[in-house]
Structure 1
């Protein structure tokens, strides 16, 4: 693997981070990180997250930095121009682009692939679930359920608000006879949490092959054998129905997929949907209600929400 990579940094608003990450994933990005000023105060006030504050985010007064890592190739400038144009058009999609500044520089692979690990510590992210990096020591306490994780270049460390809320929702809804489908599984964190909470069968799907490989490795760390990780789209690669479908993705994608997802949920089953800004709450909830879901609970964490909807 080449040792030199290009790091693209986008300065944007907190609300636009997931959209910007989506632009990067439309390119040949090898990894994405989000550093949000809005998270800093929470992490300072919560000891379990205190060590995860990346000092680079302290260099900006407001908003967020979204970083993407690309191989240095002759097509890079075309990629960079696409990213700049997409960021400039954020307003057309209803997002505040913030500063909207796009910069890039070369980095060594070790600098971005490994150094971030110093900020990632064990953290309790639900009533029972503790997410522990594979390289950290942790003494499990009574009543805790530990998820071993090395997210690599896939989304899902357990520290993001949307992931925390999904885990809390799973803690409430997973039973010993539950089947769970996890859409956009990323590092596999939600699939593993569901299995360790007692689900009898879990299927995680993702359109990113890097995420699929990351999730499969994390299954090995956790020694769980009732999880399938599949590459592809839920509608195309999964058969049957689940008692719970969980999706920690963008609000617009949730709305787009919700009608098809409904067919994969058992009667009286649940759709746990996150990745939704609180400003998008009503439009997502209205869409789910129109599909004959009952909104059972709306969880809030910072500027994000998670909807628990019952079919």
Structure 2
């Protein structure tokens, strides 16, 4: 690994938020494997062997009139990612009850103290959607519940659900990096009830849950809503995020088609998170 060559892309974005969060999410789907947010935007890294000249062609935000984005790129030797995270990843505290921090941070004085090594995986708690999902978990009863964390990223939501008393948990992500990262973070937090699964909604066939957490994106949520509804036990709770205020009508309409009843909305910087009941 010491001889691995990386390509580093250095982006400047205006407006910075939510531009940098959208860009990082899209770059992750394109194959970039590590990110560092900067004062002007973000730096993203991809292994040279996975890079190609058209790597940014499908990054929609680069063609959006809503954001002004410039970038340059260069070839670099492998970076010490832990050192980069140590400089740029700060602990977060949600509602004075849950902290999410890296191993190199001091222990936080909160009820739930979660330690993750985020690498490139989505879900540090810094993004609005993860923050709101943490709020939902803090406010609701997870004791002895069976839980699905769909699109688990770092596994942080499944980890918090177990800390809140959930007994049987599946954490699912189709991305191999997220799958491996979740395995590491589950072990790091001494969780014994979480099964990490690599795959998409097709792995849910025949499974049932009291609670489903899905922090993905609008299109995948709409595509998989029927599956979520079929997997949810009677009186079960469904928490959704990964979309904007303008998407609520689409999401709610699809939920109602499957007899899911709207219960609560959280909003943070135009991102939203919704709770539904079965």
* TM-score, normalised by the number of residues in structure 1: 0.79
Distance 1:120 1:26, change over 3 A: closer
Flag structure 2 segments of 5+ consecutive residues without an equivalent: none
Residue 77 of structure 1: SS of its match in structure 2? Answer: coil
Which digits, 9 at most, give the CA deviation of each residue in 1:13-71, with x for residues without a partner?
645656544543443322345x4xxxxxxxxxxxxxxxxxxxx32x3xxxxx4543211
Distance 1:163 1:74, change over 3 A: closer
1:160-175 equivalences in 2 (<5 Å): 160-175=127-142
Show the counterpart of 1:235.
202
1:156-235 equivalences in 2 (<5 Å): 156-235=123-202
Flag structure 1 segments of 5+ consecutive residues without an equivalent: 36-55, 60-64, 91-95
Residue 253 of structure 1: SS of its match in structure 2? Answer: helix
In the alignment, structure 1 residue 109 sits paired with structure 2 residue 56 = no
RMSD across aligned C-alpha pairs, in angstroms? 2.5
Which digits, 9 at most, give the CA deviation of each residue in 1:236-295, with x for residues without a partner?
256421111111111222122112211111111111001111222222222222322111
1:19-34 equivalences in 2 (<5 Å): 20-21=23-24, 23-32=26-35
Show the counterpart of 1:7.
8
Tell me how far 1:214 sits from its aligned partner.
0.7
Show the counterpart of 2:54.
78
Is contact 1:175–1:198 with CA below 8 Å preserved after alignment?
yes
1:136 to 98, 105, 108: 105
Give the helix-richer structure, 1 or 2. Answer: 1
2:92 to 96, 107, 123: 123
Q: What is the CA–CA distance in structure 2 between the aligned matches of 1:210 and 1:198, rounded to whole Å?
A: 27
Q: How many residues align?
A: 275
Q: Which moved more, 1:120-129 or 1:292-301?
A: 120-129
Q: What is the CA–CA distance in structure 2 between the aligned matches of 1:8 and 1:83, rounded to whole Å?
A: 16
Residue 214 of structure 2: SS of its match in structure 1? Answer: strand
Is contact 1:134–1:221 with CA below 8 Å preserved after alignment?
no
Q: What is the CA–CA distance in structure 1 between the aligned matches of 2:50 and 2:164, rounded to whole Å?
A: 47
Is contact 2:7–2:51 with CA below 8 Å preserved after alignment?
no
